[in-house]
């Protein structure tokens, strides 16, 4: 998608030209290290797309777009500590390359630097943007805590799960669009419709990720399918299967969930067979398509030229292709 590459180049250039420097160097170096890892930069791209949709000044949007990427990477630095992850995008994680204490401090500083980047906005726009960013940042943390809570909870409902992924994943995509709209002085109603578009696309994207973890091609998906099954991660598929299974099938599923010692390939094959028996893949796809439809309904209601809005439709398809 050429338009994506154009925005991505602008963001990468801005990040390279605005390095994070200070003393002690051990505190600042991990920030540049993290930002230099690259990534899809989905959130800043969405902010720029929204700003341009309403004929806004992209130069004014670039600092805020960068703030979104800094914040997102801050969450990854801390997530990697919690997950004890050794690698991120093929590189040693910050807590491995330095140490966990430095990673925590560097992550904290990234959050501060993200907020600082909002200071480039004028007073009126700042008063709209900064509260939205702070609320969203809190929601992302809430979503992460819920996700961790679910690891210990026996009972998690589909409604619980959808709420968690809305907070953990979708609201930051949604806020990115709304922030770009605000910088371009879009009407509140249009900014809110773009927010809802981003929220529902984010939920759909996570549901697709759940499906691909079990049914995706290992080469195209980029990892061995079944990781969620092996770790008993409470995805839509597992929660729905636990809800639908009965009798011997439910007993079998529960045995696999609670078994401590097992052959990974055998577990993935057995649980996947149970999923197929109760047709949870189709139900997950129905839920995913429902949120895609809701997203495009909100996009249709945005007061902007249809030719300009097709970029968002193409972007949603682009994201889906990258994950499938």
Adjacent-strand bridge partners of 92: 87
Q: How does pLDDT run across 102-145, given as a tens digit for each residue?
A: 999 999 999 999 999 999 999 999 999 999 999 999 999 999 99
User: Which one is predicted more confidently, 89 or 64?
Assistant: 64
In this prediction, residues 10-19 reach a mean pLDDT of: 95
Length of the chain: 324
Distance, C-alpha 271 to centroid of its chain: 26
- Note the pLDDT of residue 225: 76
Q: How does pLDDT run across 144-166, given as a tens digit for each residue?
A: 999 999 999 989 999 999 999 99
Query: 150-153, long-range: CB within 8 Å, 24+ apart, which pairs?
Result: 150/234, 151/232, 151/233, 151/234, 153/234
Structural domains of the chain in order of their starting residue, each with its CATH number: 1-186 (1.10.600.10), 187-324 (1.10.600.10)
- pLDDT-based confidence at residue 15 (cuts at 50, 70, 90): very high
- Note the pLDDT of residue 218: 57
């Amino acid at each position: 998608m050429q338009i994506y590459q154009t925005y991505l180049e602008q963001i990468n250039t801005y990040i390279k030209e605005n390095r994070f420097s200070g003393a002690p160097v051990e505190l600042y170096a991990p920030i540049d290290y993290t930002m230099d890892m690259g990534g899809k930069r989905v959130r800043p791209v969405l902010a720029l797309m929204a700003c341009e949709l309403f004929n806004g000044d992209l130069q004014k949007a670039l600092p805020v777009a960068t703030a979104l990427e800094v914040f997102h990477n801050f969450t990854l630095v801390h997530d990697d500590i919690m997950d004890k992850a050794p690698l991120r995008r093929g590189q040693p994680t910050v807590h491995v390359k330095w140490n966990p204490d430095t990673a925590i401090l560097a992550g904290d500083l990234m959050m501060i630097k993200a907020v600082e980047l909002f200071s480039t906005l004028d007073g009126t726009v700042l008063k709209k943007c900064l509260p939205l960013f702070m609320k969203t940042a809190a929601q992302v943390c809430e979503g992460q805590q819920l996700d961790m809570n679910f690891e210990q909870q026996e009972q998690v409902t589909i409604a619980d799960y959808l709420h968690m992924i809305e907070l953990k994943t979708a609201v930051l995509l949604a806020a990115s669009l709304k922030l770009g709209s605000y910088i371009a002085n879009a009407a509140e109603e249009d900014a809110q419709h773009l927010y809802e578009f981003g929220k529902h696309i984010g939920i759909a994207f996570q549901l697709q990720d759940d499906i691909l973890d079990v049914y995706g091609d290992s080469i195209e998906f980029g990892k061995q399918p079944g990781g969620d099954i092996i770790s008993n991660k409470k995805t839509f598929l597992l929660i729905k299967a636990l809800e639908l299974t009965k009798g011997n099938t439910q007993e079998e599923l529960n045995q696999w969930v609670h078994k401590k010692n097992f052959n990974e390939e055998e577990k993935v094959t057995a649980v996947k067979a149970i999923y197929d028996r109760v047709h949870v893949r189709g139900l997950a796809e129905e839920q995913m398509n429902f949120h895609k439809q809701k997203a495009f309904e909100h996009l249709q209601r945005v007061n902007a030229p249809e030719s300009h809005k097709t970029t968002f439709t193409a972007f949603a398809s682009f994201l889906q292709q990258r994950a499938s």
